[in-house]
Chains A and B, each alone.
Chain A
Amino acid sequence: MKKMNHKNISVNVEYLTRVEGHGNIVVDVTNGVLKKCNLEIVEAPRFFEAMLRGRSIFEAQHITSRICGICACAHTLASVQAAEDALGIEPTDQTTRLRELLLDMEILDSHILHIYLLAAPDLLGVKSFVPLIDTHPKVIRRALRMKKTCNDVCDILVGRHIHPISCIAGGFTKLPHAKDLESMHSLLMGMQPDMDATVDLALQLKFPEFERETEYVGLVNDGPGYPLLTGDIGSSDGKRVHKKDYKKVTNEFIVEHSSAKYARLSRESYAVGALARTNLNFNKLCAGAKMVANAATYKPPVHNPYLNTVAQLIECVHCLDHSIGIIEYFMEHGIRQEELMLVGLNEKHNLPVKAGNGVGAVEAPRGTLYHNYETDDQGIIKNANCIIPTAQNINNIEHDMKSLVPGILDKTEQEITLALEMLVRAYDPCISCSAHFLDVRFEGQ
């Protein structure tokens, strides 16, 4: 295997798969010195905010759920939160619990896919998930079985396995009945053996050793629960702001080499996602999740971004436990069917409408997601702003890369490339939902 030329490196490595969207990693080492190390995002804007202008705030969640097929529920929830905030509507306790259940399912679904499809192949030393069909036949079927369970629960809860239709501003247009609760409970209890097997598998994986301390950002609250749906925005550097002030957190800025905006807070960059959440709120995880963390010797604060996959595993255990708890609560207390709402576009003025400016902030699988709508007195959206987690993470990934590369220049081209690919993949970035490839290119003189 050829070793890297430390003084002048010029290598082109054709595409990295298992990343959503189109971006390039460009590394330039000259005379053994790192001159450039960029994550270039070259996706075109998708103009969802422009699509929202002129539309009713009561249909915003149906439009924005299409931003992403994996985070459709999180977009829906951020959207209805923003709408309710703008309209001055306070969701009921039942609505909040059911929304938490929906978000649990999405995080579980997304994390399972990332652990099995994207991370495991690297850590098992195979090129992709496909060879695992022959070498690990039970693994692939387990992943699909777990995904199906999440999809089936979403189907029962919100009418579709993706792009929910019954979750609206103010509540739900369809509420589960006793038999639905039993079905969901049975499905999730049936998932437990697969979750145990997933933990066993993931605990065998070996992750690269690399640390870079950064600022971790996510929802925080003063209550006992692990905050995924509600709370203020907090950071590991001690910042805490109300979600209305999300722009004081994101501080978006642009760079020449990327079509995506960058974000920073107290430092040069910050991270959102499972690693950030577990760093901020570890004590609020369920006991089973903490046991898995202990077995993985995962002790926050964790500064190794590769361990985001372990953080996702921990959250999977938490979300499964938490979702079963929500369903059992409703099995015991019942669902108040009188809370069912049929609003449509509010043609019958079921909900009071006023001009407003509302913000929704929820923890999507990849991190904190913001929706902000400004509406007129008819509930028509005048301005919209959506900030997705990956847009906040890109700057941090780039700083991770800059910190990682100098320490591995003695590695082969292949090893450096794999380390960079795995680093990017560890964040499970959703660069865009119109995906192509990520090229890794080393430049030299």
Chain B
Amino acid sequence: MNLGLSEEVMNALLPAQAGRTAYVLLGNSLRGDDGAGVFIAENLPADHDNIIIINAGDSPDSIFYHVLEAHPVKTVIIDAADFNGMPGEVRTFSHSRLHEAPMSTHRFPLKVVAQLIEEDAGCEVHLVGIQIRCACLGSPMDACVKKSTRAIIDCILMSMDVT
């Protein structure tokens, strides 16, 4: 099945062959394409065998210890992103390439959470970004972005063997 995802993205998305994989889905469904991660979470079955689905919404800090408690060998963090790509384009990248986002009590940088998971869970961490077109409050999700979220959902479902 051709999902239109690059081999690099597929490798990042597919669960570990042995051990548990945690999928952390991030986003705000009130903000158009920013809700891509949450949309994926809502269209995946609950935890399945060695796969843990964590809908983190827009507070990645709250899931750090939840991921640790799951003892994953692989963690995949999926979020809307803006890397100057085409809307809906999906890329994977290292947390070291993330900018040091502005921090406040209301926001905790994903870069920090990803690094901490990698260090404390001792697992590989993959970041998968979906290029947004618009993340304005109240805007609908772009068709290209939604198509990519469907591809990611299908990819994970195939690995769960529940398609």
- Chain A positions within 8 Å of B, measured between CB atoms, are 15, 17-20, 68-70, 110, 113-114, 117-118, 128-130, 133, 140-141, 144-145, 147-148, 151, 161-162, 428, 430, 433-435, 437
* Contact yes or no, B112 A141, CB < 8 A: no
| A residues less than 8 Å from B62 (CB atoms) | 147-148, 151, 161
Instruction: Please judge, given known A-B contacts A129-B112, A130-B109, A130-B112, whether A118 and B103 are in contact too, CB under 8 Å.
Output: yes
Q: Which residues of B contact A70 (CB under 8 A)?
A: 105-106
Given contacts A69-B59, A144-B61, A145-B65, contact A428 B105 (CB under 8 A): yes
Partner pick for A110 among B105, B108, B120, CB 8 A cutoff: B105
- Does B11 lie at the interface of the complex (its beta carbon under 8 Å from any beta carbon of A)? no
- A162 close to B105 (CB less than 8 A): no
Render B87-103 as a binary contact track against A, CB cut-off 8 A, 1 for contact.
Answer: 00000000000001011
Instruction: Evaluate whether A435 and B116 lie within 8 angstroms (CB atoms) in the complex, with A145-B65, A147-B61 already known.
Output: no
Decide: A141 near B116, CB < 8 A? Known: A130-B109, A147-B61.
yes
Q: Could you tell me the distance between the alpha carbons of A268 and B116 in the complex, rounded to whole angstroms?
A: 46
Most buried by A among B105, B106, B120: B105
* Of B106, B111, B115, most A-chain CB atoms within 10 Å: B106
User: Does B17 have its Cβ within 8 Å of any Cβ on chain A?
Assistant: no
Known contacts A18-B102, A69-B59, A118-B103; 7 additional CB pairs below 8 A are A18-B104, A69-B58, A70-B106, A128-B103, A129-B103, A141-B120, A145-B65
Which chain B residues in 55-70 approach chain A with CB under 8 Å?
58-59, 61-62, 64-65
Residues of B in contact (CB 8 Å), total 21
Please report the C-alpha to C-alpha distance between residue A435 and residue B101 in the assembled complex, in whole angstroms: 12
Contact among A17, A68, A148 with B64 in the assembled complex (CB-CB below 8 Å): A148
**Using a CB-CB cutoff of 8 Å, which residues 109-127 of chain B contact chain A?**
109, 111-112, 115-116, 120
Q: Are B105 and A114 in contact (CB under 8 A)?
A: yes
B152 to chain A, nearest CB (A): 26
Interface residues of B in 133-162 (CB under 8 A from A): 137
CA distance A304 to B107 in the complex (A): 27
CA distance A113 to B100 in the complex (A): 17
Q: Is the CB of A140 within 8 A of B102?
A: no
Q: How far is the CA of A117 from the CA of B62 in the complex (A)?
A: 15
Which A residues are CB-close (under 8 A) to B137? Answer: 434
Taking CB atoms, residues of chain A closer than 8 Å to B107 are 20, 435
Chain A nearest CB, measured from B145 CB (Å): 21
**Complex interface: chain B residues within 8 A of A151 (CB):** 62
Using Cβ atoms and an 8 Å threshold, which residues of chain B touch A117?
103-105, 108
In the complex, are the beta carbons of A113 and B105 less than 8 A apart? yes
With contacts A130-B111, A145-B65 taken as known, whether A69 is within 8 angstroms of B106 at the C-beta atoms is: yes
Query: What 6 A-B pairs come out closest when comparing CB atoms?
Result: A113-B105, A20-B104, A17-B102, A148-B65, A20-B106, A130-B100
B162 smallest CB distance to A (angstroms): 28
- The answer to whether B106 touches A140, judged by C-beta atoms less than 8 angstroms apart, is no
What A residues does B105 contact at CB under 8 A? 20, 70, 110, 113-114, 117-118, 428, 430
**A144/B65 in contact, CB under 8 A:** yes
Q: Are A133 and B65 in contact (CB under 8 A)?
A: no
Chain B residue at minimum C-beta to C-beta distance from A436: B102
Residues from chain B with a CB closer than 8 A to the CB of A434 are 137
**Chain B proximity of A137: nearest CB distance (Å):** 8
A400 to B102 alpha-carbon distance, docked (Å): 25
Task: Kindly state the separation between the CA atoms of A129 and B61 in the bound complex, as whole angstroms.
Answer: 13
| Interface pair B59/A162, CB less than 8 Å apart | yes
Distance in angstroms between the alpha carbons of A116 and B88 in the assembled complex: 37
Measured CB to CB, the nearest residue on chain B to A112 is: B105
